[in-house]
Structure 1
Amino acid sequence: MDAPPIMGNVPGSYALGVFRDRHPALLRQVREALPYTPDRHRALDRLADEVARDVMEPLDPSAHDFAAWAEWGRGMIGRRWVDVPFLWAESYFYRKLLAATGYFEDGPWRGIDPFGPVKQAELGGPEVDAELAALDRAAASPPGERAAGLLLGSLWGNRADLSFKITQGDERERASELVVDDSDLLWSLVRDRAPGRICVLADNAGRELLPDLLLADHLLAEGLATDVVLHVKPHPYFVSDATPADVAACVRRLAAAPGQAGKAGGRLWRAMADGRLSPRAHPFSCAPLPYRDMPDDLRAELASAALTITKGDLNYRRLVGDRMWPVDTPFPAVTAYFPGPVAALRTLKSDVLTGVDAGTAARLDATGEPWRTSGTHALIQVRA
């Protein structure tokens, strides 16, 4: 089973808009986010020029991962950004951005998250206070309703993608729809079987990671999981993607909150201390490759899980393959390679789509709205 990869050279396509609009805007934002020194300004300007010229240049040969990217990019580096598969090119852009900010180099900017200021501003914003306060009201709800609410909170928390906001703005006022809902099957996998390890492949930091952590707290507190392994990125990636530092910041944010949020934060803090909640930062999390190509150690780890939950759009693209599948291609068929039960929680922010009824897709297409890329529609898909 196969389909052509999504490319950025299709006029009017979402992918083309990412290269033409989002990446230049992001470079301007990063340039102003921190008091970078002249050498970093020059490097960022060179990357902006590279994007404008639409020619992918190689990494500096001194880069620690030069050989890996040269191998991954064989036959692609040197071509136009839009003429190679979208997933690969977008991943390479973010690696080049880290090179421009000096993230991996010896010097004052080594290890400094270029997206840190926007992550921190969001995590400390008043919207988070309001969202955490809602946990107090939810505490009086029946257990099933609370569990459903936590799952939906983790799903729709994906709207907090900071890179998406750069060009899309606030989508909260638009109509929302869950186009596929396998939540009953998801809950059956954790309620009707002996508790086991649950792996969560996290996506964004801040306002998305908080509900992911709250869902993990529920799974642990209710005895639905023996432990939860939270896979995050080993270094900054795709603007708002969560790193171990972001996990620590979010647990601290929860633990410092009043009411039910603070209680959950305390439980999560203790769960991390005793190993029931473990952050994991596998290098493959930042590879420009689909999960079908995962290395053997990661495959073995996920095979041992009772369930793996993938969060967000990028993980979905890597899970099913960033390809132009017919929308009704069965989700279980394209994920049959995955080494265990898997569930996808995803708000739709790019073109790839599987497992959607053709009639539903036709109805939504007829509205003329960009429902596949606007972040206003979502899905919960499960392969048991």
Structure 2
Amino acid sequence: MTTDFDSKYNIVDEPTPLNTDLSGHYKQSFAYYTLRERLPVTLTSIIDNLAKDKDELANEYGENAREEIKNVVGLLSKLKYQLQTDKNLEPFTENEPDKHVWNDFIEKLPDGKNTFFETCWLYAECYMYRKVSSFFEATTALKSYDYFAKQKVNALQISIDAMETIAKYTRNVEKSADMFVRLLKLNLWGNRCDLSITSGKEVKPTEDAVEIIKSLDSNLIADNTAEICECIHTNESQQCSVDFVCDNAGYELFTDFVLGEYIIDKQLATKVRFNVKSIPWFISDVTPTDFYCTLKYLSEHNSPIISELGKKWTQLVEEGKFELSPLEHFWTSPYEFYRMSEVRPDLYKKLSESRLVIFKGDLNYRKLIGDYNWDKTESFVKCLRGFQPTNICSLRTVKADLICGLRPGVAEELFKIKPDWMTTGDYGVIQFAQGTNCNCN
């Protein structure tokens, strides 16, 4: 059904054609739903929380913050209006450290493909979150304020029961390919706790996380665990690193630490590096503050086994076996990863020194293969478009309508069973691509 909005902004009531960028131009797409429904709700939530917390923020950051909150709310309201009326993506005008990267990108967008609904969904969504951060960065009092922090802290605290179950299950386990695969799957399904998909509403892991590993095997629709297992167990005695390109804070970060701990303890690598976001991003993504606050929270928890884990992981950080990678603005840029070697060659080189890079979650998957309507049976390697600095593992629960690497007939069968299967997070993929420039051997 065509609405006044659709007529005014050239929206067509069709699904995204094959081999086309995902965008809000196509009404029968998750991109359209996100831009029309989810993102305005996210902006409204930030505005409402600022109004509700203004006294608390003034106490913490000084009275100056009150006036700055008013200014930020005005800018957020303007951004929401621009989003809802399909305006052009505007350049960045403050002192953002990545301003030139973004402005160069925006300037090169083709005419007619530089508005919220006409440009690629990935670009529009990343732009919105980057703009929000820039409003706070331009203030004096609120530069360091994370407007998603309360939601992330709450998500961590309500997950303690699930974390305790995992902690008990993973203590003193033997080294085996089977155990590595179980922890890989545990890490995959931890990705279901994503606040951005619910526009910030509480997501609590309620099932027994250990039982999930077994019960959700039928929901794993692409499974390259055998190749990943072979990769990680090759030349084990070598000095090498494994990288996580992280996604969500809270429960998912906890499962990242669990898998990282196993990799170190079983000498599958000598270092595990965690790549996180430089700014608050997609509501629940990990920032450096989240990384350290999580370790502190776990270390000080009244549950003995949780506290023991937190202290052990903190020690791994102090010993350099767990490492928080330096801030990298590429992770919050609009660029797909196949352009990394051109845009950030130093980062590409750094990743090539790792034995395995584990990309977590839906947004990283979108950046790996681009917001593009590939044939669902197209190979993962082809869709990476040359991005193979080293061995790559993608752990993703499916929350957006793009995918590749499926066996023939799988997608068609899923559409019969559950028409919205691509956006619910109920299904997952574990995909692997061997590196072409890997220096890890």
Q: TM-score, structure 2 length as denominator? A: 0.80
Q: How does 1:1-384 map to 2 (within 5 A)?
A: 3-34=19-50, 35-36=53-54, 37-64=69-96, 65-74=98-107, 75=109, 79-99=114-134, 102-125=135-158, 127-139=159-171, 143-144=175-176, 146-166=179-199, 177-194=219-236, 195=238, 196-257=240-301, 258-280=303-325, 281-294=327-340, 295-335=344-384, 336-384=386-434
SS of 1:81's partner is coil
Q: Give the whole-Å Cα distance in 2 for the aligned partners of 1:228 and 1:77.
A: 43
Distance 2:48 2:179 in 1: 41
CA apart distance, 1:48: 1.6
- State the SS of the aligned residue for 1:230: strand
Q: C-alpha separation between the residues in 2 aligned to 1:264 and 1:172?
A: 19
Change (3 A) 1:136 1:60: closer
Overall identity of the aligned pairs, in %: 26
| C-alpha distance in structure 1 between counterparts of 2:139 and 2:221, whole Å | 47
Tell me how far 1:57 sits from its aligned partner. Answer: 4.5
Q: Deviation at 1:264? A: 2.9
What's the offset of the Cα at 1:148?
3.3
Alignment size in residue pairs: 380
Of the structure 1 ranges 211-220 and 31-40, higher mean CA displacement relative to structure 2 is found in: 31-40
Answer whether contact 1:133 1:259 (CA < 8 A) is retained: no
Per-residue displacement from partner, 1:153-182 (whole Å, max 9, x unpaired)? 211111111111228986979995110111
Q: Distance in 2 between matches of 1:275 and 1:172?
A: 31
Task: For residue 250 of structure 2, give the secondary structure of its aligned residue in structure 1.
Answer: coil
Using the alignment, how far apart are the partners of 2:120 and 2:33 within structure 1? 14
Unaligned 5+ segments in structure 2 are: 1-17, 55-68, 208-214, 435-441
The structure-2 alpha-carbon separation of the partners of 1:87 and 1:134, relative to structure 1 and needing over 3 Å to count, comes to same
8 Å CA contact 1:325, 1:352 repeated in 2: yes
Which entry has the higher C-alpha Rg, 1 or 2? Answer: 2
1:77 & 1:256 partners in 2: Cα distance?
Answer: 54
Q: Against the structure 1 CA distance between its residues 60 and 369, is the aligned structure 2 distance closer, same or farther, given a 3 Å change threshold?
A: same
CA distance in 2, matches of 1:222, 1:318: 31
- Give the drift of 1:273: 0.8
- Matched position secondary structure for 1:375: coil
Uncovered stretches (5+) of structure 1, i.e. residues with no partner? none
**Matched residue type, 2:197:** F
Q: Mean alpha-carbon deviation: is it higher for 360-369 or for 80-89?
A: 360-369
CA RMSD of the aligned region, Å? Answer: 2.4
Tell me: CA distance 1:169–1:376, structure 2 relative to 1, closer, same or farther (3 Å).
farther
Do the aligned residues in 1 keep the contact of 2:356 with 2:393 (CA within 8 Å)? Answer: yes
SS at match of 1:133: helix
Shift in Å, 1:332: 2.2
What is the CA distance between 1:283 and its match in structure 2?
1.4
Indicate conservation of the 8 Å contact 1:168/1:374, yes or no: no
Structure 1 residues 111 and 168, CA, compared in 2 at 3 Å: closer, same or farther? closer
Distance 2:298 2:121 in 1: 36
* Larger relative contact order, structure 1 or 2 (CA cutoff 8 Å, min sep 6): 1
TM-score when normalising by structure 1: 0.91
